[in-house]
A and B are shown apart, each in its own frame.
Chain A
Amino acid sequence: MSQSGYVAMLDLGAGVVLVCAVVTLWRRSLAAIVRALALQGVALGGVALFLGLRQHDGALVVVSLVVVGEKGAAIPAVLMRVVPRGPTSRELSPLVNVPASLVAAGALTLLAFAVSGPVVALVPTTTGRLVPLGLATVLIGVLAMAVRKKAVSQIVGLLLVDNGIALVAFLATGGFPLVVELGASLDVLLVVVVLRVLGSEMRSRYGVLDLDELQELHD
């Protein structure tokens, strides 16, 4: 692949990651949110694959396949199974309404560009300039966790944070050592499983359909 084609593919992959993050804020249907997350996982894996092929880095190619399998397929499948049917399958009353959170996402993206200056300056290759997209995805993930009340959308927020960090790691460092990368992936998978078990425990024991019904602990 020519240099310009390679750069274009990386731009596309990183761009899709950020756009998917914004889509999760924009859509109210939980199923659509999970689908956006799956697409983001695939785009993230694609970025890693291109980098790995370009740098002849076998470990990174392995990681990219793991990413596609885990974040593009396995985790979304787990989440899809808990997306409830009927009226509870929509994020009806987030703490901040959709237009406002989209504006906030725009502001966070600008912030990401502002603070990642030193990183962009340090990474000599063309990949460095895409780092702010990863950071913006992280910030949008934190925003989603703060303003969304459904269990599924909180988990999605956490995964956005994780995907954003993975994108930064791929672009800035060409990926962590393989062991760390796999360890981190396993951790994420475990966290999702734990959250899922907690969610179904709440439902089966107390008939609590979602997090917004749990407001007992406070000062």
Chain B
Amino acid sequence: MLVLAVLVAPLVASICSGLVPWRRSIGWLGCWAMVVVSACGAALATRVLHGSSVTTLDGALRVDALSAVMVLVVGLVGTLACWQSVRYLAAEIEAGHCSRRHASLYGVLVQAFLAAMLLAVLAANLALTWVAIEATTIATTFLVGHRGTRKALEASWKYIAICSVGIATAFLGTVLVYLAALHAGSYVHAPASLDWTSLVAESHHLDRGVMRLATALLVLGYGTKVGLAPMHSWLPDAHSQAPAPVSALMSGVLLTVAFYALLRFKAVADGALGPGFPRLLLVIVGLLSLVVAASLLIAQHDYKRMLAYSSIEHMGLIALGAAAGTPLAIAAVLLHVLGHGLTKAVLFLSSGEILSSEGTSEIGEVRALLARRPALGAIFGLALVALLGLPPFSLFVSELGMIRAEVEVGLGWAAGVALACMVVVFAAMTSHGRQLLLGPVGPGEHASRTPGIVVVPLVSALVACALLGVLAWPLAPLLRAAAKTVAL
């Protein structure tokens, strides 16, 4: 029941957006759908805390602790993004950039996109997860191009072309895993061999040669959707051109939903090949992503692109964490997924506010935000502090946890390289942040207020992130249970 509610809520909101002409109440309906998803996620989490799982629809959907964590992440970030979408669409309609029909289309696609992500994390079966992740690409392409500018159209073309190749590569990997499972010998029914749990249970019978090829294809393929180098080039374009709430969803959750698929496959690959080979692949793509992100952040001149490259950096960090693969590492990865989701959503949403009031996304043309828009500037600044991994926010704790786990399994050298990249990122982003937030206020400029409707959700998200960092409350037992499902 709860599992189905998670999928039905966004679907109902999607259908309503399609049938009823756009008005604010429809936007709020979408936001409520995400509140329902978060509540169901929390209820499911309490049920699966002790390692059990809830299945439904003849076993097609299954929720274990890992799925529950992901449902919570999607629900919480989705609530933030849908809340802000109402304001975004109202402003676009008022400015004449967007018709009511276009606003309805936005509502339909955002909720369909959320439903696809939820299906991806609930599916018990690796093929269904693949179909759902592919569906997210289709749903988001028009969202990336929603503003209809020339650049937005170029970004959406690049996005769908590159991600389709990536997801096709992941499909080839999936076919090979299926092939290995077909020949593993102990299956009676072929369809059962696509199930996550039975695959993990059978993993040591899988053919090693085929699994090695499959793992490489899956890391490359799903890695494209995660935004891991070398297939990351679509990400800065798509995330910077999309409307702010869509960027928040894409950066905050879509990347990590794709990463969720990698975590599941990694558990299968670890069983078939031992931890060495998957670890090697993840370390390579993780470090490459960190280096790419660090080097392109230094001279970045666009604050939305800056946030996009920072997402590549954080995906690199969780890839390294997953490479370590111990229960501590996976718990830290999942905490990082949640913390990054929340802070990156706050940053993209507040950058959308900045863009709509300043009219430019150039870092050099915006200054003194703290003086001119105190509330907005403070939120942006604090979220930046959180993103850079400073205490008391949860990213500090999760980064520390991942580094400790990496050192424990002998990946200390990789952690060292990662730290060096993080120092570069830190320097670059503080300097860009200073440029945006500080500086002299021009004559005749007054501090303007930021409406409470913007401030309330963003501040709550930052408070949640700080609470998680200080107390790890109330998630610690859930994260430990989730880590057990895929850790070494």
Contact = CB atoms under 8 A, between A and B. Distances in A.
Interface of A: 115-119, 121-123, 138, 142, 145, 151, 154, 158, 161-162, 165, 168-169, 172-173, 176-177, 180, 183-184, 187, 190-191, 194-195, 198-199, 201-202, 205-206, 208, 211, 214, 216-217, 219
B157 A187 contact: no
B296 interface: yes
Nearest to A142: B165
A118 B138 contact: no
Contact of B138 (A158, A177, A187, A201): A187
B168 A122 contact: no
Interface residues of B, number: 49
Given A115-B213, A122-B209, A176-B175, A195 B157 contact: yes
Contact of A161 (B150, B153, B156, B168): B168
Contacts of B134: 184, 187
Given A198-B156, A214-B157, A219-B296, A123 B175 contact: no
Contact of B131 (A118, A121, A183, A208): A183
Contacts of B158: 217
A83 to B, nearest CB: 17
Interface stretch (B22-30, B178-186, B376-384, B449-457): B178-186
Contacts of B128: 180
Nearest to B141: A194
B439 to A, nearest CB: 25
Contact of B175 (A145, A169, A191): A169
Contact of A201 (B135, B153, B237): B153
A200 B344 CA distance: 33
Nearest to B150: A206
Looking at chain A's contact residues, the main secondary structure is helix
A136 to B, nearest CB: 13
Given A122-B180, A187-B134, A194-B138, A158 B161 contact: yes
Given A173-B175, A216-B151, A119 B157 contact: no
Given A177-B127, A187-B134, A138 B172 contact: yes
A141 B158 CA distance: 16
B57 interface: no
Given A198-B160, A211-B157, A219 B138 contact: no
Interface of B: 127-128, 131, 134-135, 137-138, 141-142, 145, 148, 150-151, 153-158, 160-161, 164-165, 168-169, 171-172, 175-176, 178-180, 182-183, 190-191, 194, 207-210, 212-213, 236-237, 241, 296, 300, 305
Given A177-B127, A183-B131, A184-B171, A216 B209 contact: no
B179 A122 contact: yes
Task: Return the 6 tightest CB-CB contacts between A and B, nearest first.
Answer: A118-B209, A214-B154, A180-B127, A217-B237, A183-B131, A169-B175
B101 to A, nearest CB: 15
A117 B176 CA distance: 13
Nearest to A131: B179
A216 B191 CA distance: 47
Contacts of B208: 118
A149 B137 CA distance: 22
Contacts of A184: 131, 134, 171
A114 to B, nearest CB: 11
Given A165-B168, A187-B138, A195-B157, A177 B176 contact: no
A123 B305 contact: no
A187 to B, nearest CB: 5
A162 B160 CA distance: 14
22 contacts: A118-B208, A121-B209, A122-B207, A123-B179, A123-B183, A158-B161, A161-B168, A165-B168, A168-B172, A177-B127, A177-B190, A184-B171, A190-B138, A194-B141, A194-B160, A202-B150, A206-B150, A208-B150, A214-B157, A217-B155, A217-B237, A217-B241
A216 B154 contact: yes
A184 to B, nearest CB: 7
B179 A191 contact: no
A154 B208 CA distance: 34
A142 to B, nearest CB: 6
Nearest to B295: A219
